[in-house]
């Protein structure tokens, strides 16, 4: 199994550099690859900010990539929860924080009132305003 960097995933998803995209597709098609949580986080940020993808398109692309047969995820439950929260307009980094907290702590405390409300609305009642 090989771990892949953000740029490999981005090339695979965007095909903006034909030679690198072909190499990325070969790597991912021929090998099992490991995707760390930090790479997923960075992919979301790059696709949303540098490529200006709409949030829905970013979520769809990441969900499709993470579901490829040869892709193994670091903390798949966290990734799944974070993607679901992001669908409900929660910032993806915050969504990862919330998802990780749900598996490691009894509560997640924030000064971000909007985040706390959105998380609670999504059923994450352990998120509360400080």
Q: What is the pLDDT of residues 106-122, one digit of tens each?
A: 888 988 888 888 888 88
104 in the same domain as 60: no
Q: Could you give phi then psi for residue 14, rounded to 5 degrees? A: -100, -25
Number of domains in the chain: 2
90 in the same domain as 69: no
Does residue 91 have a pLDDT over 80? Answer: yes
Angle in degrees, CA 35, 39, 42, rounded to 5: 150
CATH at residue 33? 3.40.50.1010
Cα separation, 128 vs 119, in Å, equals 9
Q: What is the pLDDT of residues 76-85, one digit of tens each?
A: 999 999 999 9
The percentage of residues in the chain with a pLDDT greater than 70, rounded to a whole number, is: 100
- State mean pLDDT over 11-39: 95
83 in the same domain as 69: no
Full domain range(s) for residue 69: 1-74
- State mean pLDDT over 38-52: 96
69 in the same domain as 27: yes
- State mean pLDDT over 120-125: 84
10 in the same domain as 67: yes
- State mean pLDDT over 59-81: 94
**Strand order through the sheet with 2-3:** 2-3, 33-35, 71-73
42 in the same domain as 84: no
Cα separation, 63 vs 93, in Å, equals 16
pLDDT of residue 11: 97
């Amino acid at each position: 199994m090989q771990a892949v960097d953000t740029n490999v995933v981005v090339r695979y998803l965007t095909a903006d550099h034909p030679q690198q995209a072909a190499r990325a597709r070969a790597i991912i098609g021929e090998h099992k690859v490991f995707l760390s949580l930090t790479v997923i986080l960075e992919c979301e940020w790059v696709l949303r900010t540098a490529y200006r993808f709409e949030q829905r398109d970013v979520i769809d692309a990441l969900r499709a990539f993470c579901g490829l047969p040869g892709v193994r995820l670091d903390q798949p439950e966290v990734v799944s929860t974070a993607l679901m929260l992001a669908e409900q307009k929660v910032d993806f980094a915050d969504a990862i924080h919330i998802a990780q907290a749900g598996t490691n702590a009894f509560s997640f405390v924030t000064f971000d009132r909007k985040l706390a409300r959105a998380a609670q609305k999504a059923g994450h009642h352990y998120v509360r305003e400080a």
